[in-house]
Amino acid sequence: MNEVFEPKMLAFLCNWCAYAGADLAGVSRFQYPPTIRVIRTMCSGRVDPLYVIEGLKDGFDQVSVFG
């Protein structure tokens, strides 16, 4: 374990809401931590609860769904 723990977080973003929101955050140059790995989905309703478990299984420290 090194000095500072950087969490690895998986994020499912809805194409129409959060993905655009994330895009806007990037365009407006808001600072946010580089800890998330984004997966774009066409709708956050498409995200099966099993995906969350799968994410944790694959070694992510946290999994979130943004709608």
Partner 1 sequence: MSVVEQLLDYSGIGRKRMALRWVSAAEGQIFADTVKELTESTKELGPFDAQAYNLQLAAVERVLQGPRVRWMTGVDLHVTERGNVYGEKVDEQAFRAMFEQSLKEEYEKALILEVLGDGPSSVREMAGKTGLPVYTVSLRLNDLERRGLADLQKFEGSTPRFVRLAA
Report the distance separating Cα 36 and Cα 20, nearest Å.
16
- Least distance from C-beta 43 to partner 1, angstroms? 13
Which of 42, 43, 46, 67 binds partner 1 (CB under 8 A)? It is: 67
Q: Is 2 in the site for partner 1 (CB under 8 A)?
A: no
Report the distance separating Cα 30 and Cα 51, nearest Å.
29
Q: Is 16 in the site for partner 1 (CB under 8 A)?
A: yes
Closest CA to 18 of 43, 35, 36, 37: 43
Q: Is 42 in the site for partner 1 (CB under 8 A)?
A: no
Closest CA to 63 of 47, 22, 45: 47
Footprint on this chain of partner 1 (rule: CB under 8 A):
1, 5, 7, 9, 11, 16-18, 20-28, 30-33, 35-36, 49-50, 52-54, 56-67
